[in-house]
Amino acid sequence: MSSVVSSQRVVSGMRATGRLHLGHYHGVLKNWVQLQHEYECFFFVADWHGLTTEYADPREIEQNVWEMVIDWLAAGLNPGSATLFIQSQVPEHAELHLLLSMITPLGWLERVPTYKDQQEKLRDRDLDTYGFLGYPLLQSADILLYRAGWVPVGQDQVAHVEITREIARRFNHLYGYEPGFEEAVEQAIRKMGKKQARIYRDNRRKYQEQGDESALETARALVQDQQNITLGDRERLFGDLEGGGKVILPEPQPLLTPASRMPGLDGEKMSKSYGNFIGLREEPDDVDHKIRRMPTDPKRVRRTDPGEPEDCPVWPLHQIYSDERTQEWVQEGCRNAGIGCVECKKPVIDAIQAELDPIRKRADEHMRNPDLVRTIVADGAEEARENARDTLEEVREAMGLKYR
């Protein structure tokens, strides 16, 4: 029986796209680095998800995986704080995917908006495959395998967390009942003692009859705090509260990553495919060069021509990297031609160099020590598997696959 506290667990994955840039750092990685101190985190490279679109030419995946792991470590993800691993090194993801595929209606997968969208977008490939249709289900398995309560993702992935919730609900509905469930629940309630039992029943009624969410919260907290009931009882009571059977696979919630507004070198969103990015491991000289070459407000042909920060791609970078005083200096100096563009870019260059400096150093250390990187993800996979096996054991049992 599990003692997983879902509300403390975070899981997220990233497809292996190779080296990461400042857009990934400001959008996702900084957030993960923060979360690793607040939650029990599982972060993995979704290499199988990569195969769903790259199956015809998978040669780059391996290299991309290692590059990405190095960038994670460089950005400050710490194997002592978070479990870092590669999806395909934890085969339990595949088993859960298969088992969940048995109960997943095709229509649910066909209706996930990313399915048709991505097929349209990647028209040069044949994505009429079983694996591609199953992409969101594999993601559901990734999440449910760790019984995580939270999934940090961008807006574009919310639909995938939503289908995960539906699949968990369906699974619990189909298999969450056990013979003697009602009596087991009654016994568990009595074990809490008279007073607590009354509070439990009152709140359960308030939630079930009036939909009072705060009553549900209160009752859940009460159950969570009980010392003298078993872990199995605890899960039964959680199931009882929500009017179902036992919760075997808890429903996760998206933890929306604030949309990254990291602007690229041309003012568009920073992206690998636009070629407007600054890589996390880029050499100081190259960073310097790239920013110096950035276009500015075209009205500033000569140094004496006044400009408008709103029409200049350098300005959004100041909004990210500069304090208020510097921003005022830019606004003024640009509009009255008091400063030149080279001068104006200087604080941005300095700030980016200062941000990248420790990242480059850590990347360097790990690039010089590939064995260490391999050990980190091997240990991560081992740790992940221990958790995954517990879940699968319950899942197999619930589905009638426990042969003893």
Contacting residues toward ligand SF4, per CB under 6 A: 296-297, 300, 307, 309, 312, 314-315, 330, 334, 339, 341, 344-345
Give the whole-angstrom CA distance, residue 22 versus residue 294. Answer: 16
Shortest distance, CB of residue 341 to ligand SF4, whole angstroms? 3
- Residue 13 contact, options ligand TRP, ligand SF4, none, Cβ 5-8 Å cut-off depending on partner type: ligand TRP
Give the residue from 292, 239, 236, 294 showing the smallest Cα distance to 265.
Answer: 294
**Of residues 47-66, those binding ligand TRP (CB under 6 A):** 49
Under the binding rule (CB under 6 A), the answer on residue 139 touching ligand TRP is yes
Contact map string, positions 9 to 38, toward ligand TRP, x by CB under 6 A: --xxxxx-----------------------
Between 152 and 309, name the residue whose CB sits nearer to ligand SF4.
309
Select the span of 19-27, 151-159, 173-181, 365-373 touching ligand TRP (CB under 6 A).
151-159
Under the binding rule (CB under 6 A), the answer on residue 168 touching ligand TRP is no
* Residue 29 DSSP class: I
Give the residue from 138, 185, 169, 174 showing the smallest Cα distance to 398.
Answer: 174
Contact map string, positions 285 to 314, toward ligand TRP, x by CB under 6 A: ------------------------------
Under the binding rule (CB under 6 A), the answer on residue 143 touching ligand TRP is yes
Q: Mapped to the 3 state alphabet, what secondary structure does 336-398 carry?
A: CCCCCHHHHHHHHHHHHHHHHHHHHHHHHHHHCCHHHHHHHHHHHHHHHHHHHHHHHHHHHHH
Select the span of 60-68, 139-147, 216-224, 369-377 touching ligand TRP (CB under 6 A).
139-147
Q: How far is CA 218 from CA 5, 184, 202, 224, 233, in A?
A: 16, 21, 10, 10, 17
Shortest distance, CB of residue 314 to ligand SF4, whole angstroms? 4
Which of 67, 142, 240, 390 contacts ligand TRP by CB under 6 A? 142
Q: Name residue 42's beta-bridge partners.
A: 11, 83
Answer yes or no: are the C-beta atoms of 42 and 11 closer than 8 Å.
yes
Strands 82-86 and 9-14: unpaired
Residue 274 tokens, joined: 């636009």
- How many residues of this chain interact with ligand TRP, rule: CB under 6 A? 14
Give the whole-angstrom CA distance, residue 93 versus residue 145. Answer: 7
Under the binding rule (CB under 6 A), the answer on residue 46 touching ligand TRP is yes
Residue 74 tokens, joined: 């460089």
Between 154 and 313, name the residue whose CB sits nearer to ligand SF4.
313
Give the residue from 101, 105, 99, 109 showing the smallest Cα distance to 159.
Answer: 109
Q: How far is CA 45 from CA 10, 364, 381, in A?
A: 15, 20, 11
The alpha carbon of 71 is separated from its chain's Cα centroid by a whole number of angstroms, namely 16
- Residue 264 contact, options ligand TRP, ligand SF4, none, Cβ 5-8 Å cut-off depending on partner type: none
- CB burial readout 247-275, b (16+ within 10 A) else e: bbbbbbbbbebeebebbbbebebbebeee
Under the binding rule (CB under 6 A), the answer on residue 144 touching ligand TRP is no
- Residue 296 contact, options ligand TRP, ligand SF4, none, Cβ 5-8 Å cut-off depending on partner type: ligand SF4
Shortest distance, CB of residue 216 to ligand TRP, whole angstroms? 25
Shortest distance, CB of residue 351 to ligand SF4, whole angstroms? 14
Please report, as ranges, the residues that interact with ligand TRP according to CB under 6 A.
Answer: 11-15, 46, 49, 139, 142-143, 151, 153, 157, 160
